Amino acid sequence: MRPPEFKILNPKEKKEVENKLKLQFGIDHISGTVLQRGAERLFLFRGELDYNHIKEIEDNVPVERIGIYFAKHAHDSIRLSIEGVQALKDQITKNIIELNEEDSKTWMYGEEVQIETGKKCYVVIKHKDYFLGCGKASEKKISNFIPKSRRLRNKNIIK
């Protein structure tokens, strides 16, 4: 069974994504082509292929992804992936939560961080100069979306 086809967002659809990212994180512009697979997953491609080339490739070979998975539609918001945070970090100016050493370790193990942020939205997690990903802030915690395969496993690694 083939995955759903990619849809290359037209300029109006891309602008809608940019507007949401501006409201949420202060991001002004996404440099590159934005593609969508299914109803939620957004990919960022900064290469030379146009729609016709992408379509031709996909018609002949099952394509898992083009570019990086950078975000996901989540209700009326957009949740950035770890790669999305990294790709757009120079533009992120809003909803940044800076964690202390202990909380950043907790975060990297894939656990929720128990802090009150005063926010109820997606937030970018940062420790010092390092952007660590995106989480969902609620009254007393930040939910973690780091996939299990990318979490730190050995708690003796970080000292």
- Distance from CA of residue 105 to its chain's centroid? 20
Total domains present in the chain: 2
Report CA dihedral (34, 40, 41, 45) to the nearest 10 degrees: 0
Q: Which pLDDT score is estimated for 50? A: 77
Q: Of 55 and 21, which is predicted with more confidence?
A: 21
Nearest 5°: phi and psi at 74?
-135, 95
CATH number assigned to the domain comprising residue 125: 2.30.130.60
Tokens linked to 40: 């939620």
Which of 75, 92, 109 lies at the terminal end of a domain, its last residue? 92
66-105 confidence digits (pLDDT tens)? 899 999 999 889 999 999 999 999 999 999 999 999 999 9
- Hey, what are 133's tokens? 């990903």
Cβ-based burial of 89 (10 A; exposed 0-12, middle 13-18, buried ≥19):
middle
Q: What's the pTM value of the predicted model, to 2 decimals?
A: 0.87
Q: What are the tens digits of pLDDT across the range 101-143? A: 999 999 999 999 999 999 999 999 999 999 999 999 998 999 9
Query: Which of 43, 60, 92 delimits the end of a domain?
Result: 92
Do residues 116 and 153 share a domain? yes
Q: What are the tokens at 159?
A: 């000292």
The arithmetic mean of pLDDT across residues 10-15, rounded, is 94
Structure tokens at 94: 């809003």
Backbone angles phi, psi at 57, to 5 degrees: -65, -45
**111 and 64 share one domain:** no
pLDDT-derived band at 60 (thresholds 50, 70, 90) equals confident
- Could you give the dihedral angle defined by the CA atoms of residues 28, 32, 33 and 34, in that order, rounded to the nearest 10 degrees? -40
CA angle 27, 70, 1 (to 5 degrees): 150
Same structural domain for residues 139 and 150? yes
Please state, in angstroms and rounded to a whole number, the distance separating the CA atoms of residues 116 and 143: 12
Nearest to 134 by CA among 66, 86, 75, 65: 86
> How much is the pLDDT for 59?
82
Cα 104 to chain centroid distance, Å, stands at: 18
Range of the domain at 125: 95-159
Answer yes or no: do 80 and 10 share one domain. Answer: yes
Q: Using the 3D structure, point to which of 59, 92, 125 is the last residue of a domain.
A: 92
> Is 29 in the same domain as 83?
yes
